[in-house]
Structures are given as C-alpha cells and as structure tokens.
Structure 1
Amino acid sequence: MIQPLLPDPLTTSQNAPESDALEEDIFVLPASFAQRRLWFLDQWEPGVYHITMAVRLTGRLNVTAMEQALREVVRRHEALRTSFKIVDGNLFQVFVPQMHFALAEVDLQKFPEDVRRVKLRRLVREDIQHPFDLRQGPALRATLLRLGEHEHAFLLTMHHIISDAWSMEVFFYELKTLYAAYVFGQPSPLQELPIQYADYAIWQQEWLQGEVLEKQLTYWKQQLAALPMLQLPLDHPRPAVQTFRGAAQIVILPKALTDKLKVLSRREGVTLFMTLLAVFQTLLFRYTDQDDIVVGIPIAGRTDSKLEKLIGCFINTLALRTNLAGNPTFRELLKRVREMTLEAYEHQDIPFEKLVEELQPERDLSRNPLTQVMFGLQNVRHEVVSLPELTLSPLKFDSETAMLKQGDANWISRQQSFLDNEPVMCDLDLTMWERGDELAGEIKYNTDLLDEPTIIRMKAHFLNLLEAVVADPTQHITDLALLSEAECQQMLVEWNATSVAYPWEETFAALFEAQVERTPDAVAATCTQAHITYRQLNQQANQVAHHLRDCGIGPERVVALLAERDISFLTAMLAVFKAGGAYLPLDPQHPTARLRHVLQHSDCCMVLTTPAFVSTLAEALEEIPVETRPQVLLLEELLQQPHIQHNLVLQTSPHQLAYVIYTSGSTGKPKGVMLEQQGLLNHLYVMIENFQLTETDRIAQTASQCFDISIWQFLTALVVGGRVQILPDEVTHDPGRLLAQVEEQHISILEIVPSMMRAMLEMLETSQISKPALAVLRWLIPTAETLPSELCRQWLRLYPAIPLLNAYGPTECTDDVTFYPIFQVPDE
C-alpha cells in the first residue's frame, strides 16, 4: 500500500501564497500523471472527459447564498482554480490564489411546459458536451436554470483533469454545507484544508521513483506480459480511430439474488466485488471463448486519509488479468480472482498512465491501451440532503446513478430512453452500487460498436450467470446457465424449425434419371467446345456403371476417380452413384504421398483414371501391398467398350455412403469425410431453393474435384434440367478468362473464392477493355475465405444488379451451413 504522505506537505501547503502575495500571483507546478494523460486525451477528443452533476431544486432558493457557497468552494480548492500549459514539452498546472467565479443563470419560465422541457434537455446536453479551454481555465462551470418561481435546475460540470467521482461528492457536500450556513448569515463551518492537490502531484512524482517504482513496475510487467486483445463479438466494424458515443442499460439485482451473492461471498472468503468481477469475467469468457481476460477497475487512489477531503483527479485504473484456462469450477475461479485482486491491490500505487508509458503497448488509435472493458462496484454514501426551504432531487442527465442511489424504480422505466448519447470511455463498462437491499448499476457501451439489443441480451446473460453461481458454485464455468429457457427454446427449436419438403427418401441417381425422362435432349454439361445432352450423359454413365457393377461395385464400396475435370469426369461420378458405390475424388496435382495415403486410408477398392495419370497412379500404388491394392480401370476404355446403356436397377438408399472427401491436412494427415445420399440431396435442394434454380440456369463448375463445393457445382443443375458449365483450371485461375467465359457462356451462378474476386475486380479497374455486362449472371457466391467488406462495395458498385451470397460451411456438413445475402453496398 502507499506510504503516508511526508509530514511537511500535510501540515502546510507548499503552494499557498505568502501572506503578502499579490492577487495577481500565479503558481506553476508539475501536473500529475493522471492529468498528463487526460490532457492528451482532451487534445484528441475535446468535450468527452467531463463529470456532471444535475440537481432539481424545489422550494425557495436563495441565489445569492448559492453563488457565495460556490465561490467559497472554488476558493478552498486550488484544483478548481487551475489551468494548464505546456513548457518544453512538459505539462504544468497553473493556478491563481483567487478567481472570480460566476454562477450562470438561464430563465426558462416564460416557455410552455413542453417547450421548457425540450429546452432544458438541450441546454443540459450542450453544457455537458461543450469543451473546456484547459489553457485558459477554469475547468468547471455552474449553471442555474430557472424553471418556475419555486423550481430550479442546478448543473455543475467539471473536466476530469481537476476532478473525479469522489471529488463530486466532496464538492456537493461542501456546497450544501456552506449554503445552509450562508442562508442564515453564518460563517463557513468548514475547516481550512491543510494540503492541496498540487502537493499530492509533487509528492507522487518524488515518491514514485527508484526502488519503489521498480518494485511496482516489475509486478505489472510480469502480470501484463503478452497481453491478449479481447475480441468481443461486435455489431459494427471497429472505427480506425476510437469514438466515445455511448448509451447505457440499467441493471437491477433483486434483494433475493443480492442476499445470495453476499452469502456466497462470505462462505468463499471473498468480497462481493470479487464475486461480481468473477461472474463478469465468466460472461466475457463465454462471449469470446478467450480464457485470458483483462478487465480494468477504477480505484479511488486516496490511500491516505488526508486526501479524502480534496477535490482533484486521484482515481486510478488497475488492469486485472484473470486466467480462466482449464474450465475451472466457479469456486476455483473465485480463488484465482481473489489471489489476483489482492496482489493487484498491493501494487496499486503506480498510475495507469505511468504503466502505459513504461509498458509501451502497441499503438492503436481504435481502442484504449491494455484493457477495453471496465468493471466497478462503488460504495455510495446514503446521506439525507437537507437544505433550508429546499428539496433536492436528481435531474436526469446527472446519469441514472443518482436515481439508482435513491431507489426510484419508476424512474428507471421512465428514463431508460434518456440514457442515449452518454459518452463512454471504453467498449463496455459495467458499474454497480449497493442500493439498500439490492444491487443496481448500469452497462455503458460504445454505440459505434454495439447495439442496444446486444446489450439487453448481455445484461440478461449476466443475471442468468449470477443465478447459476449462487445455485451451485461447483459447476464448471462452461456449464453455468447463460441462456434463458426462452432463448434455449428459440435457438434449439424455433431457429432449427427449418425443415422443408424435399425427396429425402430418394437418391441422386434416381432423381437424375427422372430429369433425363423430362428433358432428354437438353444440354446437360459443357466443357470448352464439348457438350453432352441429358440422354447421352445418362447412357454413357449407364455404360460405365454396368462395368462397375460387374466388377463388384455396390453399396458402401469406395471408387476413386483420378482425372481432369471434364465431361468424362462427370460421367464417371454419375456411374459410381448408379452402381451404388461411393465416389472418392483424387486431385492429379496432389503429391504422390498424399494420393497413396488417401487410397490406403479410404480402403478404396477401385480407381478410375485416364492414360495421362497412369504413371502417377502406379507410383502411388507401388508401396501398397498387392492384396489390398485397388483395381485400376481406364475410363476411356470403359466408355469405348460396347455395353448395356439402359438404366440399372438402383441399389442405393438415402442413408448409404454417397462420397468421401479428404480434408486439406493442414492440422496433420488428411482425414476422410463420409457423406450420405440424404445429406447430399439436402444440400442440393438448399441450393435449388435459395437460388431458385430452373432449367434456364447455367452453373459454373470452377472448384477442384477435391474441394467440397465441387459436388453441388457438378450435380445441382442435373436435377432441375439446367446446365453444368465445367471450366478448366487454366480458365478458373485467370480472372480475365474467367470473366470472359461467364459472359460468353451465359453463366447464371458463379462461385469463387474472395481472392479470385479481388483479382477480377483489380483487372476490371486497370484493364483498358470495357467491363463485361454479365447480363445473365444472377448470383456471385464468395466462399471458403473471409469476405472483406471492401470487395462487396467494389463489386456492387460495378454490378449493383448482381447480389452476393457469402457462403460458409465445413465438409463434414455437406459443404454449406450458413448463407448471408448482400444486396446493398455495405457501409464504410
């Protein structure tokens, strides 16, 4: 803890002028650490770091006594007579022995009540937000708004650089004490202050150096090493430069819950603050899935009793870092929070500003250093305000905290809408107070990052967690109930009530054969200059399928296909399905070792290939034992041999294996993902429904055969009578040729990765050739990579009539599980 102030400054202020000092004398002394940072922040964003108190005065007001009391408070506290100046790059406090301070008065009596109410709100907000000139001073102002003969509003606004929340309590206490005396013509009952804020600033800088500073810094450097950035799920992209527009939501904990939290805290040997902090950090953990959570807490900074009656900026911030790794029980988490908090209190004397200066975190203008989330539990004194012939009540814009202290629940419901546009210094700030038998508080949040519905849900989740921990603190933190019963019903039942009618009892082969009957002479697929009708494709697939069936291929038997993507490749896919087998794509570009692993791991019994890849396949098979080596057939030979071309008797059922696709192997060896016929059809019909596919559509087949999206690209059009346009690699890898093919082949559905989308847009911007009209293209589907909003803006500005569908899904779920259509240009 901080050592007591040195004796000399406590008995006599170093800054008090000599008895014969002239009134014009000014005093220049170094600014405190906190003042330096607040000066910097004010230069960056003026009008934000203000503290306000607004009070409604009902009864007979003695304006002269009020103004006299204000001037006496200003006389007593040098901080209120302070301005600031930079000398040789250093910030100094400049204060004068005396300062004439006037109470501004505004008369609103002449206006009708509804107009008066609007004007009152506007004037108060303007006063709160109007910047101070810290170079000239003063950094406070007081305004009296006359609302009626016996009704006034008193507004006091101070810059944080000379004040804090504790100081506002000191100011109000002295003001009402002095007013009560002056009304009756009595002298001030307050004793003179032995020291001033400037004495504290000097002492702080002299004391906090050498061994003392090193001990504090050593702890915090260890505690905050490799500090993580909290990744709250935001509703809006974070602006490049931090903003301070905010709003608030009121939080009320009923008496029963408050009592249980206090009992839990006593039983576990922790303070109520520690319990609430642990629950709040659990909430952040559940929202972010990060187990290393840093939360800032405000502390009064008045560790010497002689500082308690001073006005000034003493408040400090501690960055409390809690390790939630290992999914501890809440009881274990409480122990961790207790230990961490007590250690932080032992090293609380280093100013947050000095800590930032020493740690030098990476500069980021979009957020606060070290922590972006705050939590506090304040001790509010419940004093009865008694003034001669006056009743004092909070006026909104004084922040809801005043009413929370009074416990006016009706006010809460009436005034929630007034909490908009309150400045907020961080992303999220939860502050609570003990209010009688209840706990109450507010969640302030940055409205450029988070929306009101999000905070309302977060508030409910916080309350749910509180109920869960008092019910059973032995639960692991991932098991604590976060959602309400209604939310569980919504997420697990209502949102999943998405079933639609589709032929789930069928198989792809049967549906394709039905389409062949409907449109036998329509073109089914095209690749470069080649094309094939539905009848021809069905006949060729039947011819190969009969060969496969003769070789023993049937349900659950895996057949690999090693060939270039073309019409023959599509024919072989269909043949495997017709024979009842499961299709396994192999990429000719993959290394031999990967091909060998896939063939062995999949228990593949047959490989269909082309002459171009016979040697590649032979190399992959040579290390596989002969008895387990798959049979190899050449696709061209099967297509040239005379065979039966009529449909086979299908032996496939909806729950049989349809295909196997291997993952990329980025986390180790590639793993085979097995999908059933029913899952395959479910996905195909999702695409048909979402894109409203018909026989007029031409779907571009652009993906590698080993990429899961290739499945729907190959097959979807074939069950609605549309056309598959197979684009070879030399086209899909060239943005210019790809766009040209989309135009020339009248493609209506195109799916690409965002990196190719970027290349296409860059080519369109730099090319001298006029951009293609793409008149037939109905949808562009970016997939597989993060889709930057800038690409959406570029595309929709060039092609406003062609929407985007951002698609995502893992192979294990038959490709896509979520879609997000984008019709309008996203906001900057």
Structure 2
Amino acid sequence: MITNYRYQSIRFPNELVDDLISFCHKEHIEVQVAFLAVWANLWYRYTGLEQLVIGVAREGSPDKVSPLSFDFSEMHALVAQVQAVHTLLQTSLNEPQIHEPHIFHAGYLVREDTDSACRDSTDSLRHLRKEKIVTLELVRTETEWTGSLFYHEDHVEEAAISRMAGHVQQLLEGCLKQPQVPIDEISLLTEHEASQMLMEWNSASTKPAEHQSISDWFKAQVMRTPDEVAVVYGKERLTYAELDQRANQTANYLLQKGIGPEALIGVHLERSIDMMAAVLGILKAGGAYVPLDPTYATERLSYILEDAKAPVLITKESLAASFVAHEIEIVYMDRDRDAIMEAGSHTPRTSVPITGDHLAYVTYTSGSTGKPKGVAVEHGSVIALIQWAQEIYSAAEIAGVLGSTSINFDLSVFEMFVTLSMGGKLILAENALQLPHLPAAGEVTLINTVPSAIRELVRMKGIPAGVRTVNLCGEPLKRELVEQIYDVETVEKVINLYGPSEDTTYSTYCYVKRGPDLPVYIGRPIHNTQAYVLDKHLHPVPVGVAGELYLGGAGLARGYLNQEELTKEKFIPNLFSEQPNERLYRTGDLVRYTADGSLEYLSRMDHQIKIRGFRVELGDIESTLMKHPDVHEAVVVAKEFSAADLRLIAYFTTKIASQGEQEKSDYPQLAQDLRGYLQQNLPDYMIPSLFIPLEQVPLTANGKIDRKALPEPQRIPGSLAAPRNEIEERLVTIWCDVLQLECVGVENHFLDVGGQSLLAAQILVRMRTAFQTDLTQSAIFEATTIAKQAQVIAEAQKQEIMNKTSNAIVARKRVARQLQR
C-alpha cells in the first residue's frame, strides 16, 4: 500500500457485469474501455471541465502512465463514447510517454488478479500519486470484476469516496439501460441520495397561515398590543394603535380616489413614519406599493412609474418636483394631511377581500437589457417569510429592529412586516451607519443589513450594546467579518441569509458559529421553501458538485411585471412536485451541497453581481453607457481592490477614437461627463468608480469580449489641492479617516479616491456631528469634492444663523406687543 493513500473497494453486481460484457461484445470493444469511458464522464460531471486528462497506467508496464485527453465540448451516448475512448487508447499505445502526475485530473488502471500484476499495480499507482487525485483500479478475475478507489487521505474525505463509489456504479448502470442517451443526461444519484436531497433537506414547513394578508397580520398585532410602540423615527414614536390609525386614514383616502384591487401605487418618500403609513395604507386599500427611493436618479424613477402604469404617486412637496409633468395623480403626505385625516380612521372597506394571492408590491431590480424589471410579489409570499421568522426569532430578538434599508431593496420587507407582525419596534434610520447617532440606538436588538454596512459599523465601533442578533444578506459573507462581529461582546448570533427578490427576501439561512477555521455557508431552505441544485439538464447533482440553484415553494414571486416571456424563462414548472402549477425559479447562482445538507455559495453564472447588497446587472450599466453620444463600446467589470472594497470599473472606446481623431487629453473631461451622464440615469450604487479609455475592446479568438485581457485598473491620484479654510481642513480629516487615505485634495472626486454610498453615508454622519449642522443627504451626495461640500456647509451655517436671527426678531416683537397690552 502506498503511504498516505487509502482505498475503498467497489463490488459490481454479477448482473451488471454481465450486461456490460454483452454490451462490449456487441460494440467490439474491451470491457476496460467502457469502464474508462464511464470514469472519465463521471469526472466531467463532477468538475464541469470540458477538457480532462486521465492518467492511464499500462498493464505490464508499471513505469508508464499515459495521459488521455478527453474533450467533452460535445456530449455523446455511451455507444459513441466508448468508440472514441478506444481510438484514444490506440493512439496512446503508438505514442508511449510518461507524464508528471500534476497534469492529471484522475487516474485509471486495470490489472489481472495475480501477484505480479499486484506488484505492477503498486508501481503504477506510485506514478499516479498526487494530492487530490483519485485513481480507479479495476481487477479482473476469471469470474468477476471488482474495483478500488485510491485517494489521498489528507485531501479527500472518506464519505466523498463512498459517494463516488456509488456514482460509478449508478452511472454505469444508467448508461447500459439507456445506451443511446447522452451520458451527461444519466442520473448520478443513488436512491438514498435522491430521497435525501429532494425530500429530507426540503422538508421544513409551518402550519397553515392564520391570516390571509399582510394587513391582517398587522391588524392582529394591533389588537394584541395596541399601546406598545410600533415605529420610531428620530424622537417621534407611534404606538401600534396610532400607526394603524394613520394607515387606515391613508387607505380610506386612496379608496375615495377610486383605488381598486392590485392598483399599483408609487411610494416616493424617505424612511419615515409617513412612509410606513403610506405602505400599510396601500396594502389595507387592496393596492400594491411600488418603491421609488428618493436617492435614485430621476430618469430611472420615471421609467419605473411609466412601466408600472401607476395611477397614483404618494410623496411630499419637497420631493415631487420631478414628477409634476407626469400624468399621474399625486398624494402629498404633508400638504394633504388634513384631507387624509378627514377620510377617517375606521377600518377600510375594500371591494373584495384581500387574500394571499393578491399583489403586495412590485420592486424593480437591475436588468441586463439596460432597463430595470419589476418583480411582482403577492401577500402570500410575504406571509411565508413572516411564518418562518416567527419560528426562528424570539420576541426579545425582534423587540427593536433597525429599519435602515431602502424600500427598493427587499431586505426592507423583513424589517417592516416581520417586525410589525411580531410586536416588535421598528426603529427607522436614514441608513445603517446612522445607527450609533439615533436617539433610540440603545433600543436596537437586531440589525438586518448587508456585510459591507456591518463591516463599517464594526470599524467605527457603532454597534450598540443592546444588539444581540445580526442578520446579513445580499453579499457573500466572509469568515473574517464574522469573527469581527463576534468580537462585539453583546452580539450572540450571526445569521447568514440568502435570497433573490424573486423569492421574497430570504430563501436560505444559516446560524454562523464563531470559529476562525469554520466555513460560512448560506445554509438550508427556510420553512415552506425548496432548494434544488441542478445541472443543465435539470438533474440533481451529487453532494459536493457545483450546480445552479433553483428555488421553489411559498415565497416565489408572481413573476415579472408586464414581461410574460421573461417570467416563463425564469420561472419554470417544478419537476419535483406532485402539486399542480408549482414552479421553480432559476437563480443563476452556482452552489453546491455539503454532506450535512448545507448550501455553499460559489459564484454567479453570468455577469450579475451584488454591490453593497444591491443586485446589479453589468449589462444594465453597459447599455446605458453606450447610449451616450460619444461612446462606441463599453465593458463594465467588478474589481475587488481589497476585502472591503469592491468597485465597478467602466472601460470604453469612443466613436471619435474609432475614427482615429480622439486626443488623449480629452479623456479626463469625457470620463467626468460619462459619470455625470450615468448619475442622471442610474442609482448611485451602479456608478463606476473608474472610467478607463481603450483604443479597442479586447476579444477572444471566437470574437467574444475578453474580460481577462482588460488592463488592470489603477487608482487615480489626481491633484492634491490644499485646503483653503477651516471647513475644508476638517473635511480633509474626515475623508482621510473614513476612506483610509493618507492625503486627499479638496478637488478630488469622491469616487476617484475610493468612495461609495456606504462611505458617503458615514461621512455625512461625521459632518453633521463635526459642524452641528442639519445637512441633507442629497445635498452632500451631489457635492462630490471637499471644496463643494465645504460650500454646502458654509451655506447651511449661514442659513441657520439667518433663521436664528429672524426667530429672535420675531420673538422680540412678540414680547413688545405683549408689553404694550
């Protein structure tokens, strides 16, 4: 036996061997050729590699190992595959050679059951010895064939080898039963594996829902705890009864305007109590809300309104200017407040009962065509999330939930509806980084956010002592960050969550334990959800093998608004369900199952990425960029400058440069123009940090864009203009601290020096504290240099002084009038 190697025996049933021998006689090939064809195909199924090399040891020639290169770019049935392997072997015999084992993906040898053959086998195995390599040895006797799988004990688990032994037999048996079917369409799973993966690991469920709509769940909680605080915004607090009253007034006002079932209503408000009253009021009236975050580009918000065909927009006067020209009725939560109150706080009477299959909201996500697509979610899907949460979270954990997520991002669905259906307190914030500065910061018990946000909160020591549970979703979670979170002594639980908008916020979850060497998984499906890891033929793949994740169950969205064909493409019939009309959503995410049933996230299968939790189709940015009159071609990639710094990089060619007339000196101004153009059309998280001009876009041999050949992006230092006054000096200190820079010029663009929206939010918080000035988020975000921000601060300070002077004058006049009386 070779040192550090183990082996596991495979005994092939006599009936299977007889069928194999009959097949080989019919095809005029040797049995070992058929075994080799099956062995190579098994490794193709495991790895997905179209080019594989199997090291084949020669019987009687222990010092010779031949590399056999298999091409799986085209898949064939066993009949054709064995003939191809036979030809490969014949060619190899004519050109004997010894190769170093590091080129092999697996090994293969066949021997007779004799003492001399056993010695030769040991010598051959020594030549195949390599970390992570597995070798199949077949032994032929007069009456039977047996096999052994040799593996390196330090790199392959025994359980994985046991599964592999079953897969060899399963694949061989399937090929012989269906010799005309392409081998990659033959199932690998044993009966036990299929039952475990399809049934056992998807069995978590809850009892039937107590209520049929989100508004009914909220109303039930109002009845239980009418006087408990439901929502906090700054120093303002509303009890459950008061929030219910505000929501009823909004609902009745909408019903007076003729809002019918499933009417789509735009909500264009910052996170506030007015926003909560609007969202709940829309649901109570039987409508569905369409989130329109005020920080998004006006052009994008206009497209969403037009695509949704929303008859009504709820906003406030200071935000409505962009929509006055639209043919839409506008409800102002501030200006129309008296009329809304007069509509009455009685329970709204909708024309039809609101049930689980009624539309609740439509949230728009990035689309590869350059236009966002609306994901339509029903009440029943949100209720499935609520029911799971009630099984997983205690009342103490939900007692104070930070509501910091944009309602355009579906993490907000958990924050709003789970909290208000479990009697918790929703503590609203402008963004997650505002948490330590909130009046109610000490009341927060659960943070629900993205890894990049919690990383900044940890760095700034901004997690309050009351926080016990941290929910993380939207980006891959790294072990280093988990350990940093647990270093906050009061944090007891970190939960890693995964889920696309098309499956209502969360699809899988995992309690991530502390331990620097432990892996971080996305876990198992939440209750009433099913997860399947499938190959391109929609067959389940074995444990440890990568495949696309498909999701089914109660959380699935209705589909994409006004896009029937896209809905049919992404939501397919559920092949594993006996229930009629059940569907699966194809996520486009590459995952694999671990032996204990946990899912491990690997990567995307396309050019979609997550930036600070937001789903971004790189094609969306590219197509928008190419609409600029000066751009000829555009390619956008995501580049990780560090573990905490993922940035978008835009490469472009110009129409003038393609004609040989572009001056390089024009590029900086053009890059600035392109950034401004995108800011008018896309949300801030979709704006590239760097714009890099190219003479031409690199292509592969088959004419596709070669993203690997794009030049490495470099940080652009720009000029280091010195601060000219005290405000600029203090801003330089804040920027350097937050962006972790040694120095920065007052004219440097925020994005050029590593800025992004989360860091901008942190800078805003620091500025408000440093200058004791009520600065608005939009004003600061639009001022992209220190010099411009200093001007905004100076103007704000000047305005506050004028207001104080004006108020003092008014007060003195009031006192004078009183004295004259």
Same fold (TM over 0.5): yes
Shift of 1:467: 0.8
Shift of 1:279: 2.4
Matches within 5 A, 1:799-810: 799=489, 802-810=492-500
Secondary structure, aligned partner of 2:343: coil
Residue 321 (str. 1) matches residue 18 (str. 2) = no
**Residues 743 and 572 of structure 1: is their aligned pair in 2 closer, same or farther, counting only changes over 3 Å?**
closer
Match in the other structure for 2:363: 661
Matches within 5 A, 1:97-108: none
- Cα RMSD after superposing both structures: 3.4
Shift of 1:514: 1.7
Distance 1:352 1:427 in 2: 14
Residue 549 (str. 1) matches residue 255 (str. 2) = yes
Shift of 1:341: 5.4
Matches within 5 A, 1:159-178: none
Match in the other structure for 1:352: 99
Distance 1:384 1:338 in 2: 26
Structure 2 gap ranges (5+): 519-821
Structure 1 gap ranges (5+): 1-50, 53-127, 129-244, 303-307, 354-367, 386-393, 406-421, 622-628, 765-770
Secondary structure, aligned partner of 1:716: helix
Distance 2:139 2:166 in 1: 18
Task: Kindly provide the CA deviation profile for residues 615-638 of structure 1, in whole angstroms up to 9, marking residues without a partner as x.
Answer: 33347x4xxxxxxx5433223234
Match in the other structure for 1:683: 385
**Residues 510 and 435 of structure 1: is their aligned pair in 2 closer, same or farther, counting only changes over 3 Å?**
same
Matches within 5 A, 1:613-692: 613-618=319-324, 621=326, 629-641=327-339, 642-650=342-350, 651-666=353-368, 668-692=370-394
Distance 1:740 1:380 in 2: 77
Secondary structure, aligned partner of 1:442: strand
Match in the other structure for 2:294: 588
Shift of 1:271: 4.3
Shift of 1:430: 2.9
Given the alignment, which residue of 49, 54, 66 partners 1:296? 54
Matched residue pairs, number? 510
Q: Larger RCO: Structure 1 or Structure 2 (Cα < 8 Å, ≥ 6 residues apart)?
A: 1
Match in the other structure for 1:139: none
Matches within 5 A, 1:749-768: 749-764=446-461
Distance 2:344 2:27 in 1: 80
Does the 8 Å contact 2:231/2:237 carry over to 1? Answer: yes
**Residues 815 and 744 of structure 1: is their aligned pair in 2 closer, same or farther, counting only changes over 3 Å?**
closer
Secondary structure, aligned partner of 2:112: coil
**Mean alpha-carbon deviation: is it higher for 546-555 or for 790-799?**
790-799
Does the 8 Å contact 1:748/1:779 carry over to 2? Answer: yes
Matches within 5 A, 1:365-404: 369-371=102-104, 373-380=105-112, 382=114
Matches within 5 A, 1:52-131: none
Match in the other structure for 2:236: 530
Does the 8 Å contact 2:64/2:96 carry over to 1? Answer: no
**Mean alpha-carbon deviation: is it higher for 480-489 or for 784-793?**
480-489
Distance 2:159 2:113 in 1: 33
Does the 8 Å contact 2:469/2:491 carry over to 1? Answer: no
Shift of 1:251: 1.6
Question: What is the identity, as a one-letter code, of the residue corresponding to 1:592?
Answer: T
Distance 1:815 1:427 in 2: 40
Distance 1:813 1:658 in 2: 14
Match in the other structure for 2:22: 263
Shift of 1:468: 0.5
Task: Kindly provide the CA deviation profile for residues 331-374 of structure 1, in whole angstroms up to 9, marking residues without a partner as x.
Answer: 4544555555555555553x424xxxxxxxxxxxxxx8444x31
Given the alignment, which residue of 559, 565, 575 partners 2:281? 575
Distance 1:318 1:490 in 2: 37
Shift of 1:660: 1.4
**Residues 301 and 459 of structure 1: is their aligned pair in 2 closer, same or farther, counting only changes over 3 Å?**
closer
Question: What is the identity, as a one-letter code, of the residue corresponding to 1:648?
Answer: P
Distance 1:704 1:446 in 2: 50
Shift of 1:507: 1.0
Question: What is the identity, as a one-letter code, of the residue corresponding to 2:484?
Answer: Q
Question: What is the identity, as a one-letter code, of the residue corresponding to 1:818?
Answer: T
**Residues 685 and 383 of structure 1: is their aligned pair in 2 closer, same or farther, counting only changes over 3 Å?**
closer
Shift of 1:264: 2.8
Question: What is the identity, as a one-letter code, of the residue corresponding to 2:108?
Answer: G
Distance 1:381 1:743 in 2: 78
Match in the other structure for 2:503: 813
Question: What is the identity, as a one-letter code, of the residue corresponding to 1:720?
Answer: M
Secondary structure, aligned partner of 2:107: strand
Distance 2:76 2:319 in 1: 55
Shift of 1:807: 0.6
Shift of 1:263: 3.0
Residue 712 (str. 1) matches residue 414 (str. 2) = yes
Distance 2:153 2:480 in 1: 22
Distance 2:302 2:248 in 1: 29
Residue 467 (str. 1) matches residue 173 (str. 2) = yes
Given the alignment, which residue of 479, 490, 500 partners 1:789? 479
Distance 1:712 1:558 in 2: 21
Given the alignment, which residue of 147, 165, 182 partners 1:441? 147
Normalised TM-score (structure 1): 0.56
**Mean alpha-carbon deviation: is it higher for 571-580 or for 500-509?**
500-509
Distance 1:334 1:370 in 2: 23
Task: Kindly provide the CA deviation profile for residues 453-477 of structure 1, in whole angstroms up to 9, marking residues without a partner as x.
Answer: 2322232122111111000122244
Structure (1 or 2) with the larger CA radius of gyration: 1
Residue 778 (str. 1) matches residue 778 (str. 2) = no
Given the alignment, which residue of 434, 441, 446 partners 1:744? 441
Shift of 1:529: 2.5
Secondary structure, aligned partner of 1:297: strand
**Residues 782 and 317 of structure 1: is their aligned pair in 2 closer, same or farther, counting only changes over 3 Å?**
farther
Does the 8 Å contact 1:251/1:459 carry over to 2? Answer: yes
Distance 1:809 1:574 in 2: 24
Distance 1:586 1:423 in 2: 60
Shift of 1:578: 0.1
Does the 8 Å contact 2:211/2:217 carry over to 1? Answer: no
Secondary structure, aligned partner of 1:481: coil
Percent identity for Structure 1 against Structure 2: 27
Does the 8 Å contact 1:429/1:445 carry over to 2? Answer: yes
Secondary structure, aligned partner of 2:294: coil
Does the 8 Å contact 1:283/1:462 carry over to 2? Answer: yes
